[in-house]
Structure 1
């Protein structure tokens, strides 16, 4: 990680990513943007049993949307589903079990969902992980990459046919401002060369990859509206468990999970978001730059193409 990038990013974060940053930005929000009725529209949210995913599920259910919760743990997922139904009065909340680090399972899930007769208007790729040691899945994939990058890629591309059947289909990828500290490295996607392994850097690389993926999807699938976003520094179970030292230092400045989820909800529901060009990166309902000034973090078209080709190639190994 460049010392320059990390220093500039942290100063930027203190100003923009904290609770006070959200409060400042929210003064410019148009409340009418979310005065919508989502009845008749279906939303799939990965990692929907806690944190930002759960807050987004609650907000969408409150607007009458059909919610498909995609969760790794059935017990915690069902507890969250019951809570969402109780809080919103919306009975149209459904739970699906899926581990986003297992590509074969993702292919099967997407195939079954496509063939079920269900519709899908919006896919919210929210599930993610930050594993702080280099850990391989049972498929031999580095776990951060498998979950954050490859899993997102497979689910998104496999559900495109279903999304394109609907009016104003959308895909939102929950990325992170931490990606600003990284230039994408397409020669070591699974961190075999990273010595020593650093989970924070691996996560930031994944989040940079997600932003590039969003831009590439927008070109590849023009009938679907794509966006990625940064939720800010929010107080979520994932932050507490994966970044305990950061949480302890920043806990009094962190946004609530609801504040972190605000832009996800806005991107999912509002006409204002859909009118923005496809492929942009958002922070607090506003498209923002994907690179810090003078940070030398931009990727060439060839590097972006290499990422997508590698993802397709790895994914194909697990397609039945």
Structure 2
């Protein structure tokens, strides 16, 4: 980021796409649960730092790549960085993907009225390496209908190119359409909010290496 800044680069489209799903609990050298560090904390820090450095164009588009796995989970901030007992890989993944939806809601509300666009999408079930590693039986059963990489990326390209109107702050895009962020009523029931999510992420934002 410092090299980009030194060159005077401005980011027009940011796609926060990096993600991981692990069956076993893996703790990073900073003491963070891997799904949390990869799927949501890194996305927040990167976007936050681009904004702080003035590197995100005034009319930039920011796209979070979530997953249909988030539909099974409400936002539970206290469990996002679960590093002890109670860890379940699929749940850790789903919680972080729900957090991406809520984080996008936060950015949309924070920059409402401006020219920047913030979207979150999910690509459907794509035949990725993560699916093969984490859910081999699922992949074997449904491999004939799993999507290719270009099919999964289609809505990302659509959002970046056309920047469509979004009518609701809490929404997720799928197959080029704005969809509701909830399928099950229970996932609406949460004690947390976009603000409590960001408060947690901020609590990690400026900790030095080795001091997490």
**TM-score between both structures, scaled by the size of structure 1:** 0.60
Alignment of 1:1-320 (within 5 A): 110-160=1-51, 161-165=54-58, 168-192=59-83, 194-195=85-86, 197-222=87-112, 223=114, 224-271=116-163, 273=164, 275-277=165-167, 279=169, 280-293=171-184, 295-298=185-188, 302-318=192-208
Q: Name the CA distance, whole Å, in 1 between partners of 2:23 and 2:89.
A: 4
In structure 1, stretches of 5+ residues that fail to align are: 1-109
Distance 2:145 2:199 in 1: 40
Decide whether the 8 Å contact of 1:142 with 1:190 is kept in 2.
yes
**Separation (CA, whole Å) in 2 of partners of 1:179 and 1:194:** 22
Aligned residues: 204
Cα separation, 1, equivalents of 2:33 and 2:189: 23
Give ranges in structure 2 of 5+ residues lacking alignment: none
CA distance in 1, matches of 2:81, 2:176: 32
Distance 1:150 1:318, change over 3 A: farther
More helix by share: 1
Structure 1 residue 113 displacement after superposition: 2.2
Asked which structure has the greater CA Rg, the reply is 1
TM-align CA RMSD: 2.0
Q: Distance in 1 between matches of 2:167 and 2:154?
A: 19
Deviation at 1:193, TM superposition (A): 5.5
- Aligned partner of residue 144 in structure 2, secondary structure: coil
The alignment's TM-score, normalised by the length of structure 2, stands at 0.88
1:304 Cα deviation after fit: 2.6
